[in-house]
A and B are shown apart, each in its own frame.
Chain A
């Protein structure tokens, strides 16, 4: 540390630049607005955790915000109660406040300097502890610990895995610049993986969450890249004559289905994740694009205009005969099978409006889930409960998330630009 002296002007200037930079970064964060909630929300109280007050505040605030945003919980005010994970629970008192469940916990610095977040979850009706855990994190990872705790509570109380610890990818266009960004599922902690003066579209996560495949126009035409997020290393997977687009990973992560126009028309091919072993999967005279594997890897849903208008079809993962899947309307595109294999999200044009639709694959019933007019690029959360998509509000690109039953709605926007091309990552490993 330097000895104390009047701050040299240069440092003052650096400080000013840094604070301006911080303001710009804050400006670049996604902000979330909740515009709908589930019908039967579980009332839950998150007590103020004991221990290091600043750290406890970050963790409990994260847990509360996660549960609230999911639309499945109603947060009960814990008032000033500070309770650690071993505190005696007055079940009657919490039941009286309307809470069916209660979480208590504490934050403490471990011997190695890292923070330990401990918590316990209680059922106030049955008057039993439902379980607890300890998460050890660095000081800058406190929000991650909060997401882990929220995932635990979510799974215990709903029976489904939570997605608060997952990440999302999306593209921000500000001015003439395109940025491929990665953020936590709540829009916080955004980091830029790629900046380009040419468009970036169609990002998709590898099944292990370590890589993104996407289409970049930096070579003045669409070329497919695979980008390792940790190292920043990029590899061209397909740069054939013509257009290279619409990548999607096979569920085992070994291959990509892609769309190439090298043989004269947009057709679906499969290729190894390193770009070798190109195989043609479709043989049609029209457009075949937007392939997506079914979660079991056995079939591929895709968009084709072989019948005269763009519709959704399904074929075996190795190609062959295709069956038409969508029938209502003259424009059904962007098929996305849900990770649980039960439904198919897609974009349907109805009366000139492009809207998110979901088909129950067993009954073939279709439900329109949005009331917007320019929905694009739907993406399921890994637990199949929410669908993230791009839409437009007031002429600006925003992201919107809707529950598969249409009840819960959230909007994610960014002050500094248009947000588009969202992709929800897999469960964290």
Chain B
């Protein structure tokens, strides 16, 4: 956690300095400018949309946002534990950021039951994040059920792609979801 926090604070300071013109004559302490009112920005700088590169760079683990599930199941499988932990770490270090977790299912069965199943999946991811220290008000878990399939196919591999929870970030300035 320290590794992430320190560069985050440093870049917050840098942004604070560069974005606020310093009045040489006022002698105002620099510290006050890095206090409340300055958005904490994570290390690694910003991408072309002004979003933290750490979240959007395809090489960063935090750009991986999907957790896949088995048929009729809603437990987060071991292979996704590290991914969820990395997101929890980021959210703990960047309390201004929020996430929306969207649970999805394959197309088979009742639309409403699938909506609840998708909710179970997003709830499971939310629980993993909050157990690792993410604040409850940073995470909203919702379900899209079978309504927004990422893979429009009708076979086993399409169904596997669609049994999924996605993590979408919202920036402190309200920009989202990315």
A contact set with B: CB distance below 8 Å: 199, 201-202, 215, 217, 220-222, 241-243, 245-246, 259, 261, 264-266, 287-290, 303, 310, 331, 333-334, 347, 349, 354, 374, 376-377, 395, 421
Contacts and interface: CB of A to CB of B under 8 A. Distances in A.
Interface in B136-154: 140-145, 147-148, 154
B142 A354 contact: no
A199 B118 CA distance: 15
Given A201-B147, A261-B123, A266-B116, A241 B109 contact: no
Most chain B Cβ neighbours within 10 Å, of A215, A259, A261, A347: A261
Given A261-B123, A265-B120, A202 B112 contact: yes
Contacts of A347: 109-110
B153 to A, nearest CB: 11
30 contacts: A201-B111, A201-B112, A202-B112, A215-B115, A217-B144, A220-B177, A221-B143, A222-B142, A241-B140, A242-B140, A242-B142, A242-B143, A243-B118, A243-B142, A246-B112, A246-B115, A259-B112, A261-B119, A261-B123, A261-B141, A265-B119, A266-B115, A266-B116, A266-B120, A287-B120, A290-B110, A310-B113, A333-B110, A347-B110, A377-B111
B167 interface: no
A265 B127 CA distance: 12
B128 to A, nearest CB: 14
Contacts of A333: 109-110, 112-113
Given A265-B123, A347-B110, A245 B141 contact: no
A334 B112 contact: yes
B127 to A, nearest CB: 9
Interface of B: 100, 102, 108-113, 115-120, 123, 140-145, 147-148, 154, 177
A418 to B, nearest CB: 11
Contact of B111 (A221, A331, A349, A421): A421
A354 B177 CA distance: 35
Contacts of B115: 201, 215, 222, 243, 245-246, 259, 266, 289
A331 B112 contact: no
Given A242-B119, A243-B119, A261-B123, A290 B141 contact: no
Contacts of A310: 110, 113
B64 to A, nearest CB: 21
Contacts of A261: 116, 119, 123, 141-143
Contacts of B109: 331, 333, 347, 349, 354, 376
A289 B177 CA distance: 28
B120 A376 contact: no
Contacts of A395: 154
A334 B141 CA distance: 24
A266 B102 CA distance: 15
Contacts of A217: 144, 147-148
Q: Lowest 3 CB-CB distances: which A-B pairs, in order? A: A266-B116, A199-B147, A221-B142
Contacts of A374: 108
Contacts of B148: 199, 217
Contacts of B145: 201, 222
A303 B110 contact: yes
A165 to B, nearest CB: 29
Nearest to B176: A220
Contacts of A349: 109
A300 B17 CA distance: 62
A395 B110 CA distance: 17
B108 A266 contact: no
B120 A354 contact: no
A289 B141 contact: no
A322 B110 CA distance: 21
B147 to A, nearest CB: 4
Contacts of B154: 395
Nearest to B142: A221
Given A221-B102, A261-B141, A334-B112, 4 more contacts: A220-B100, A220-B177, A261-B143, A287-B117
A217 B118 CA distance: 14
Contacts of B112: 201-202, 245-246, 259, 289-290, 303, 333-334
Given A243-B119, A261-B123, A265-B123, A289 B113 contact: yes
A174 to B, nearest CB: 14
A172 B108 CA distance: 19
A261 B124 CA distance: 13
A241 B141 CA distance: 8
A191 B69 CA distance: 40
A217 B104 CA distance: 13
Nearest to A334: B110
Contacts of A242: 119, 140-143
A266 B147 CA distance: 17
A281 to B, nearest CB: 15
Given A245-B115, A265-B123, A354 B143 contact: no
Contacts of B141: 242, 261
Nearest to A200: B147
Contacts of A202: 111-112
A376 B111 contact: yes
B116 to A, nearest CB: 4
A259 B144 contact: no
Given A266-B120, A395-B154, A222 B143 contact: yes
Given A242-B141, A243-B142, A243-B143, A287 B110 contact: no
